[in-house]
């Protein structure tokens, strides 16, 4: 079972939050604020917070730029994971993931099912790695953001979480580039 190893230090990571919405402003963005609050409460650094319209190019451009920023370790998006015509966040991001995080979606839906039942199938929450940066794609509701952070992301971004966590493998995410790929 998972546990916190108190003998290990907590290592804060730098997290960017992107809200995808045609209608919200930062002042009205409850989901983005929920994530921002939880990030800071957990001891991490809120690197940047922004809103873009439900447009593939705008979403992709922002996340790609953040994924190459050395001051950002993780990107969390909220919004645009449903089935309506304007919900395009997975379509914008999944094609550019170097590696998909299928387990994130599966665990998110298990947690969500316990709270909202079969309505969880209306979300296409997903995750992956892009340019050695973890990217989590969450629904646009504050409840879904709480569930994803509290039930999955918070533990995986805690270096003390055992038996394993994402923080301990962050330095090795770009190993393939060092072995003859693009990087030196």
Q: Quote the distance between the C-alpha of residue 92 and its chain's center.
A: 14
pLDDT at 33: 98
184, part of any domain: no
**What domain range includes position 167?**
3-178
80, part of any domain: yes
User: What is the domain count for the chain?
Assistant: 1
Sorted by sequence, the CB contacts under 8 Å of residue 176 that are 6+ apart come out as none
183, part of any domain: no
139, part of any domain: yes
36, part of any domain: yes
Q: Quote the distance between the C-alpha of residue 41 and its chain's center.
A: 17
144, part of any domain: yes
Q: What is the CATH number of the domain that holds 168?
A: 3.40.980.10
* Residues 89 and 80 sit within 8 Å (Cβ to Cβ): yes
Closest CA to 37 of 138, 124, 29: 29
Q: pLDDT tens digits for the chain (184 residues)?
A: 889 999 999 999 999 999 999 999 999 999 999 999 999 999 999 999 999 999 999 999 999 999 999 999 999 999 999 999 999 999 999 999 999 999 999 999 999 999 999 999 999 999 999 999 999 999 999 999 999 999 999 999 999 999 999 999 999 998 876 644 554 4
92, part of any domain: yes
């Amino acid at each position: 079972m998972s546990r916190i190893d108190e003998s290990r230090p907590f290592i804060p990571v730098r997290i960017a939050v992107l809200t995808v919405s045609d209608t919200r402003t930062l002042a009205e963005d409850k989901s983005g604020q929920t994530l921002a609050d939880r990030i800071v409460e957990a001891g991490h650094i809120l690197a940047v917070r922004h809103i873009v319209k439900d447009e593939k190019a705008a979403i992709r451009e922002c996340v790609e730029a953040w994924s190459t920023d050395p001051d950002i370790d993780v990107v969390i998006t909220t919004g645009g994971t449903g089935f309506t015509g304007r919900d395009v966040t997975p379509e914008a991001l999944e094609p550019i993931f170097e590696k998909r995080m299928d387990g994130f979606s599966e665990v998110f839906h298990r947690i969500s099912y316990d709270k909202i039942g079969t309505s969880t199938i209306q979300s296409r929450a997903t995750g992956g790695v892009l340019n050695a940066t973890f990217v989590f794609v969450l629904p646009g509701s504050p409840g879904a953001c709480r569930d994803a952070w509290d039930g999955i992301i918070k533990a995986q971004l805690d270096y003390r979480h055992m038996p394993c966590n994402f923080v301990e493998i962050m330095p090795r995410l770009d190993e393939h580039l060092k072995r003859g790929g693009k990087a030196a």
